Structure 1
Amino acid sequence: MTRRDDIIAAAIRLAEQSSTGQANLSVRAVAKEAGIGASTLRHYFPTQSDLHEAIARRYMHVAINDFSIDDSARDPAERLFECCAQLLPSHEHRQIQLDTWLSAHVNGLGPERRAPVRRLLEHSHEVTYDHLDRWLQVLVDEGHLDAAEVAPSSTALFTMLDGLALHSIITPERITVDAARDQLRWLIAKVLEPKS
């Protein structure tokens, strides 16, 4: 692991040890956790924004779980649902997750958009598509899906996940956590439906 990786790992440890939304990811706190001086940290991350962006990028890669997508003994639709459902808001943290999703999109795409947030949104899309493509490819390899269906299925799934988040904000009484999960199950059934 490089020194840069050590610094990011230290920052993630700090974030994980903190209460939700209370992480102290200041240069001093992260440098102390990494066992280095603040000037060394600044060499790798000249601004606090650079540090926060690197942390967010790394976290995106470890935050999405592949669960048991490779377990061919399990139903393919259930495996794909398990993987995709983690990208939906949960019962416990629904409002925080939806507020974070909306804030990221407003700050990255809105009239006063911020370049670092836009870059993080773009990166999160790349990471999400990479995971969706990988999960679908597993199902292709097992004969549950045609290879030509990976790209459109990946786009359909991601579009539905984002759409469900938006509709959960606009009409929360209609798109509840359970309703969103039902819609995701419906789409996965369509994706994996045998084509005649």
Structure 2
Amino acid sequence: MVARDEERISSREKVLVAAAMMLAEDPGALLSVRAVAARAGVSTGSLRFHFPTQRELQEAVLAKIYGHFFPDDPIHDRSLPARDRLVNCLRQLLAPIGVGQQAREAWSQVYQTYITADPSEDARAAYLAIAREEGRRVEHWLAVLVDDGALPRDDHARHARFLLTVLGGLSIERALPAEESILKSETETLYMAVDYVLGTAQTV
């Protein structure tokens, strides 16, 4: 029995390592069951035993990757309510855009690269890989909240797309003139979006 348990743990870890390596080599990898099982050297049945659905596999892989590279991720700060943790995480994705001139320069580059003309295949592939990575990261945060009991298990891809759309709008606002504090209005919007996803109805 002990040997069988060790074998199961070993094959599970092989799957996680193989999937993590596939994502490291190609951020756009879709992690199909057959491809991951082949890379791990296990049967698809063995993979399905540990991860009955593709989403469970993806969530486990992302938890392993982000747990390693982002050990201080705000989503794990359980001293804060779930809504505060998720807002703090979303701020991480907004931070690189900056505010004012920095945001204008960043959006000018995006406009020149992807909007003024058809992007090259390489540019398009790079953009889609970044977008998928951002989606995966938001889905990982939502999966952590599921494990904590703060969110029901669901297809979080829709919620991730919604939150990323909100972030896209906020990042554009950072580059535009504003009559009030950008950070104040941004905070209110982030909490409204997070409350929608979590099903909470609190005020900022």
**Rounded Cα–Cα distance in structure 2 between residues aligned with 1:102 and 1:181:** 24
Q: 2:175 aligns with which of 169, 175, 180?
A: 169
Q: 2:196 aligns with which of 160, 179, 190?
A: 190
- Map 1:45-124 to 2 at 5 A: 67-89=73-95, 93-124=99-130
**Unpaired runs of at least 5, structure 2:** 1-67
1:66·1:83 contact (CA, 8 Å) conserved in 2?
Answer: no
**Rounded Cα–Cα distance in structure 2 between residues aligned with 1:77 and 1:71:** 11
1:91·1:177 contact (CA, 8 Å) conserved in 2?
Answer: no
Q: 2:152 aligns with which of 146, 149, 152?
A: 146
* Distance apart, 1:149 and its partner CA: 5.2
RMSD between superposed Cα atoms in Å: 3.2
* Distance apart, 1:119 and its partner CA: 2.3
2:80 match: secondary structure: coil
TM-score (norm 1): 0.56
* 1:178 matched to 2:192: no
* Distance apart, 1:120 and its partner CA: 2.2
Query: % of aligned pairs identical?
Result: 22
1:69·1:135 contact (CA, 8 Å) conserved in 2?
Answer: yes
Partner of 2:133 in structure 1? Answer: 127
Q: State which drifts further: 79-88 or 129-138.
A: 79-88
2:89 match: secondary structure: helix
**Rounded Cα–Cα distance in structure 1 between residues aligned with 2:132 and 2:177:** 28
Cα-to-partner distance string for 1:128-176 (whole Å, 9 max, x where unaligned): 0011000000001111112215222111100000012223434534682
Cα-to-partner distance string for 1:83-122 (whole Å, 9 max, x where unaligned): 1012225796543134214422441243253433322221
1:132·1:154 contact (CA, 8 Å) conserved in 2?
Answer: yes
The alpha-carbon distance between structure 1 residues 178 and 160, as it changes in their structure 2 partners (threshold 3 A), is same
1:89·1:177 contact (CA, 8 Å) conserved in 2?
Answer: no
* Distance apart, 1:178 and its partner CA: 2.6
Instruction: Give the aligned length.
Output: 134
Q: What amino acid sits opposite 1:96 in the alignment? A: Q
**Rounded Cα–Cα distance in structure 2 between residues aligned with 1:117 and 1:65:** 31
**Rounded Cα–Cα distance in structure 1 between residues aligned with 2:177 and 2:97:** 16
The alpha-carbon distance between structure 1 residues 89 and 96, as it changes in their structure 2 partners (threshold 3 A), is same
Partner of 1:48 in structure 2? Answer: none
The alpha-carbon distance between structure 1 residues 171 and 148, as it changes in their structure 2 partners (threshold 3 A), is farther
The alpha-carbon distance between structure 1 residues 102 and 162, as it changes in their structure 2 partners (threshold 3 A), is farther
**Rounded Cα–Cα distance in structure 2 between residues aligned with 1:66 and 1:129:** 19
2:161 match: secondary structure: helix
Q: 1:137 aligns with which of 143, 149, 159?
A: 143
